[in-house]
Structure 1
Amino acid sequence: MRDEHSKLDELLSDPMVQLVMQRDRVNPKGVRWMLERAHARTEDPSLPPAYMVARECWEHGLCS
């Protein structure tokens, strides 16, 4: 998990990603929580489909 964690840290620390999240009012801690939760539910650590990300985001108040 350490390697995946460092890749996620790298992604979330990218200035362009931070600007897009800020513009979309997305909480980086919420994104981390959601992706780690999705990873824990499956053996395939790939990113969940966009519709699942959007639904989780709204259900947990991570997006406004």
Structure 2
Amino acid sequence: MTSLPGGSGQGGSTTEPRPFVCARCGALAGDSQPATWTCSVENGTRQYFCDVCSRENLRAIEGRLDSAWW
């Protein structure tokens, strides 16, 4: 199990799960990250990209360019 930094990893949070939203096009994925989506940490913030946006920007992602550059 992987936990967020500073967390106990035991849940205990009363907040509801937030839906995954593509940081590029705004597509919604529901409460769990689909296997085809990409997660990127930029400036300490996790950003998720749908499979379409990930495919369209594969070279920039592999080159580790921040999404602001694509």
TM-score (normalised: structure 1): 0.25
Higher relative contact order structure (alpha carbons within 8 Å, sequence separation ≥ 6): 1
Structure in which a larger fraction of residues adopt helix: 1
Structure in which a larger fraction of residues adopt strand: 2
Structure with greater Cα Rg: 2
